[in-house]
Structure 1
Amino acid sequence: MKRITILIADDEAEIADLVALHLEKEGYNYIKVSDGKEAIRIIQNQKIDLAILDIMMPELNGYEVTRQIREHYQMPIIFLSAKSSDLDKISGLVMGADDYMTKPFNPMELVARVNAQLRRAMQLNQAVNEYESSLEVGGLTIYPDQRKVILYDEAIELTPKEFDILVLLAGHSQKVFSAESIFQNVWGESYYEIGNNTVMVHIRTLRKKLGEDKNKNKNKFITTVWGVGYKFNG
């Protein structure tokens, strides 16, 4: 069976070596690169199962690398960065990262998060088979297996997290999910301080892409249940 391959993109050689050492002990293959352009080249040319990215890298920073990855690939992304403010963390998650760790870091915690993200990715792939081939609601059609969304005959581009939130809500129409429940289901992590803001930002951008900011009925697809959470109108 092919071993999982993880990309480590960090221009600090000592950090990259430390991460590689612990991933190797866990039984993973790894590839190390020191700049963003090389990270993209590797991803385009071979199968990568998960990427660990620094933000402040030469050539292309981690945000831009994530943006380019998310145009074509769904692998989990973990930011490992010295940028430690809540705004940095929220920005990273909104850009499409699945997790965010700050330096200095505990290598064993990083390995645990890698394991969790790979487990979650496998569970999501399996869960797709539980849904119908498509979900159709009032001009909106969702194709979970293709990760495609059509709104009034026009494809709309969603980030992986926006798509996962939409499938979660639409797949359980009229069920109210708290922000904590959405965070735990979609990010696969325990709810923590920035979780609420992260969910709110993703719901806001998801609504905008669904055209709800252009309609008089703002909550056409996603309704806010004040003090409780969010539900999908199916």
Structure 2
Amino acid sequence: MSLKNTILIVDDDHEINELLTMSLKREGFQTISAYTGVEALRAAQEHSPDLVLLDVLLPGMDGFQICSEIRKTSNVPILFVSCKDEATDKVIGLGLGGDDFISKPFSPIELIARVKAHIRRNNMPQKQEEQVDETLVFDQLLIDPATHRVLVGDKPIALSAKEFKLLFHLAKNPNRVYKNEQLFSLLWDDVHMGDTHTVMVHIYNLRKKLEQNPAKPHYIRTIRGVGYKFNDKPVEFAE
């Protein structure tokens, strides 16, 4: 692992911060430690890290607020590290633009694997075929890969990078059923790297943003016991 890869560690627990620092340095990473939101935002601006490990529970500005601020200017991978393992926190964190959610206590080996996979994924050059993908239009929904623009009717929809990637992949292959593991591998580059529940969270967020009735989704359908598929049929509005 090249020393050019710098990890910003944001955790007010000095022991955990030091543990993460030692583990990452053994793998050849450079690290920067921050213990408050103000320190984290300053370090993110000054050092432009390759990845951010971000605790949720911090004094003053919490991890969700920090993530929102970083996302205004940067697409750096953000991995939440939290003692809270509630589905609601995952929904919030990933909905704000976080890329992954790791619960404490965590395995240093698993965390390092996730860090490497996110950095590898983020450093991949864009494939030529992805550069020439055409705009997809399905009745009320427009998906433009060139600008990462999504419209429902005339309303622009703000999606995170991974939400867009997931939606575009499903929509480009309408009516094909994908297992959770396949979608997880698509987004995170390693199917064995983490919890496929994260795919469910991204699907949940997409439905909230795209669907007229998220409880009865039209575009992204659940195939029980298997996974998900994109429905390319016209929207059927209730009379």
Q: Same fold (TM over 0.5)?
A: yes
Distance in 1 separating the partners of 2:24 and 2:231: 43
2:151 partner SS: strand
The answer on whether the counterparts of 2:114 and 2:194 sit within 8 Å (CA) in structure 1 is: no
Cα deviation 1:93-140 (Å, max 9, x = unaligned) = 455433333334443432222101112223484487365153333243
Residue 11 of structure 1, CA deviation: 1.2
Code of the aligned partner of 2:57: M
1:78 partner SS: strand
Residue 52 of structure 1, CA deviation: 0.4
- TM-score (structure 1 length as normaliser): 0.79
Distance 1:55 1:138, change over 3 A: same
Distance in 1 separating the partners of 2:95 and 2:43: 24
Residue 213 of structure 1, CA deviation: 1.6
Describe how 1:57-68 pairs up with structure 2 within 5 A: 57-68=58-69
Describe how 1:51-90 pairs up with structure 2 within 5 A: 51-84=52-85, 88=89
Residue 199 of structure 1, CA deviation: 3.2
The answer on whether the counterparts of 2:150 and 2:156 sit within 8 Å (CA) in structure 1 is: yes
Distance in 2 separating the partners of 1:127 and 1:176: 25
The equivalent of 2:36 in structure 1 is 35
Aligned sequence identity (%): 39
Distance in 1 separating the partners of 2:146 and 2:169: 13
Residue 166 of structure 1, CA deviation: 0.5
- TM-score (structure 2 length as normaliser): 0.78
Distance 1:75 1:185, change over 3 A: same
Residue 157 of structure 1, CA deviation: 0.9
**Is 1:202 the equivalent of 2:202?**
yes
Cα deviation 1:133-187 (Å, max 9, x = unaligned) = 5333324332334333233333211233322220220122221112332233224
Residue 15 of structure 1, CA deviation: 2.2
Code of the aligned partner of 1:208: K
Residue 204 of structure 1, CA deviation: 3.2
> Where does the alignment leave 5 or more consecutive residues of structure 2 unmatched?
233-239
Describe how 1:101-140 pairs up with structure 2 within 5 A: 101-123=102-124, 125-126=126-127, 129=130, 132-140=133-141
Distance 1:124 1:169, change over 3 A: farther
1:31 partner SS: strand
Larger deviation, residues 88-97 vs 106-115? 88-97
Distance 1:160 1:124, change over 3 A: farther
Distance in 2 separating the partners of 1:204 and 1:156: 15
Distance 1:156 1:224, change over 3 A: same
What's the C-alpha RMSD, in Å, of the aligned pairs? 3.2
The equivalent of 1:222 in structure 2 is 220
Distance in 1 separating the partners of 2:110 and 2:74: 25
The answer on whether the counterparts of 1:70 and 1:159 sit within 8 Å (CA) in structure 2 is: no
Larger deviation, residues 170-179 vs 137-146? 137-146
The answer on whether the counterparts of 1:9 and 1:53 sit within 8 Å (CA) in structure 2 is: yes
Describe how 1:136-151 pairs up with structure 2 within 5 A: 136-151=137-152
Larger deviation, residues 14-23 vs 55-64? 14-23
Distance in 1 separating the partners of 2:87 and 2:231: 32
> Where does the alignment leave 5 or more consecutive residues of structure 1 unmatched?
none
The equivalent of 1:13 in structure 2 is 14
